[in-house]
Amino acid sequence: MLSISEIVSVMQQKFNASAADNLDLIYQFEVEDEDEESFHMVIRGGKLEVNRGSNNNANLTLSMSSETLESMVAGKTDGVSAIKTGDVRSAGDVLLADKLTQLFPV
């Protein structure tokens, strides 16, 4: 299993800047394992900035286990499906979950 830092690194490598050209969004990820971690991604004008910790202005917050996050990043689990099955809990604009596949293609 990958660490949260390794998962974030993979996401940064997969980031599709052209899909983010006209966006101004904040995605927050709450990882609920024994070592709870949170990080947020600011996507603005085709650029990605990743920061540890929470952001009160997040457009969408996704809460899940590190295993689920790793599965999503690997393309084994779709974010919208994971929300529907309860593997991921969301707060905010849930429609933005679908955009993750365009921003971070497998």
Q: What is the pLDDT of residues 62-89, one digit of tens each?
A: 999 999 999 999 989 888 889 999 999 9
pLDDT in tens, 46-57: 999 999 999 999
Q: What is the CA radius of gyration of the chain?
A: 12
pLDDT over 70 percentage in the chain: 100
pLDDT at 35 over 80: no
How much helix, strand and coil, in percent to the nearest 5, is found in the chain? 35, 30, 35
pLDDT over 90 percentage in the chain: 78
Buried b (16+ CB within 10 A) or exposed e, 37-52: bbbbbbbeeeebebee
